[in-house]
Structure 1
Amino acid sequence: MIHVKVPATSANLGPGFDCLGLALQLYNTISVEPNRPFQISLTGSYYEGIPADESNLVWQTMCHLWELLHYPTPSVALTLENLIAPSRGLGSSSAAIVGGLVAANTLAGSPYTKFELLQVANDLEGHPDNVTPALYGGVTLSVPAKDGISPRVLAQSPNLKAVVLIPNTLLNTEKARGILPLHVTRNDAVFNISHVGLLIEAFIREDYSLLQEGMRDVLHQNQRAILLPGMLETLESALKGGAYGSALSGSGPTLIALVAESTQKAVSQNMLTTLEQYGVTAQAMVLEIDSCGATSSRT
């Protein structure tokens, strides 16, 4: 039996569009029983609407890697426990892709390195901001380079927590991407580049007072605010509650605030109350930053 655990992730962190992300201690797990008739069993908090046949993303990803490896597709039984809310901006599709790759690689004897798995995951997902932290853990920067995506772990175990506000509504990633303009101004590009630099300094120096300014963005958050009533006001309420910084998680609708333990309750309550004023109900969670990324084990 092979067991794979993959963390949820939050991408962008404000200005780091498609390149910054962090891993959270909220997990999907994949259990693989070799030499069993093919079957997919779904458990956990989120399984409605997820296919339990050969169209399942985890299974398709596993088959893709075996094809790359020229490894005969084995007959296995899968049990998928899904605790990461889908279509909420918490990297559920990346978790499926990374989990499938790690499971398939482990079953084949682990011929691919983590770096090689990242390249395959990026090809499948289309952008690395979620798959990199899902594989490596911590706070990551994904750099397109000549030999593929270069993963940089800025902070493996930052001394902060994440207040995650998950609205009870779905948001398709393609829709959230589709409302963004095809071109940006030079001023906006400079703004985000400089703020990504500040964000990186905040994590490397562990100077979290820089996060409030560092997590500001002009490329995508204001544009996506029309998809979630009260989004900008809720992010501001997190700062008023004492958060280091706040941002839209990925393409949303989940909102994330990075906090000290002493402010997590005030920030969480501020965000919930503010969003509810705009008619949106949500679930609030306080999560640690995952430092390991995807893991696999055999029993």
Structure 2
Amino acid sequence: MNFNHISVLLDESIKYLNCKNGGIYVDCTLGGAGHSEEIIKNIRPDGRLIGIDQDQAAIVAAEKKLAKYNTQFELVRDNYQNLNSVLDRLKIEKVDGFLFDLGISSYQLDTPERGFSYKYDSPLDMRMDQRQATTAADLVNDLSVDRLTEIIRKYGEEKWASRIAKFIVDFREDQLITRTDQLVEVIKAAIPAGARRSGPHPARRTFQALRIAVNNELDIIENALNDAVSRLKVNGRICVITFHSLEDRIVKHTFKDLSTKCTCPPNFPVCACDTEQKVKIITKNPVTPSEKEVEDNFRARSAKLRVAERK
């Protein structure tokens, strides 16, 4: 299967990155390389692109897609939580811009054997990095009812979390849950019929929660953004695209913390608040897709872009 992925907020991201020829830019979530390709178009021939992704399928597809451009680029199979070590290995001290496109790619969702989607009957996997040992099946078959409830409620914002967790634990007493269809049926049984008649697919929130837990998606965002800002050149930009409120909340608060100014009096000899304003927030309110983009790509509907600039 080809690595098909429609890049969200593509024009807006490139605009806010302020790409320039000769600059060094890092796409921390390579995916289908749509953003990376546009970055390369704007920095060639002397610019340099670093693309990072933990999914080997993304690396292979990006190599083919970007090979036609006469611009230096390096693709690294790694997790963006290891951003500092990646840049150290490449002997890069400072960067002109970072792009984070958080969440899951269309390729991952639409490849049944990856087990991300409730739409296909497939192995219950959900690993973005298939070198990783733990799968979604491991979580639903091994975790306690309390831990499953916590994950489904926290990461899926699912009101029926405790009931779903109990149904999972009861079901697995008779047989292991190894396939997506099994889990979907358990979730449907757990959620009362009246609550299933409206709103999104009843399994959507639980699948999101398990995917986030399997890949530790939320816990790494704040540290990664702080690392990126520490490697930005003055006036360099960091652009972050999120797809649900949990991600966006972390990005918003991290940018706010990084943009906080010292509150000590001007004549104070030593800063007592230990606060340094590291960035200026460029987007007071997040940038969202146009009606046309949502019409063309329904998965873009919840996307938000936040941008900050290094002081």
TM over 0.5: same fold?
no
Relative contact order (C-alpha < 8 Å, sep 6+): which is higher? 1
TM-score by length of 1: 0.28
Q: Which has the higher helix share?
A: 2
Larger fraction in strand = 1
Greater radius of gyration (CA)? 2
Name the TM-score, length of structure 2 as normaliser.
Answer: 0.27
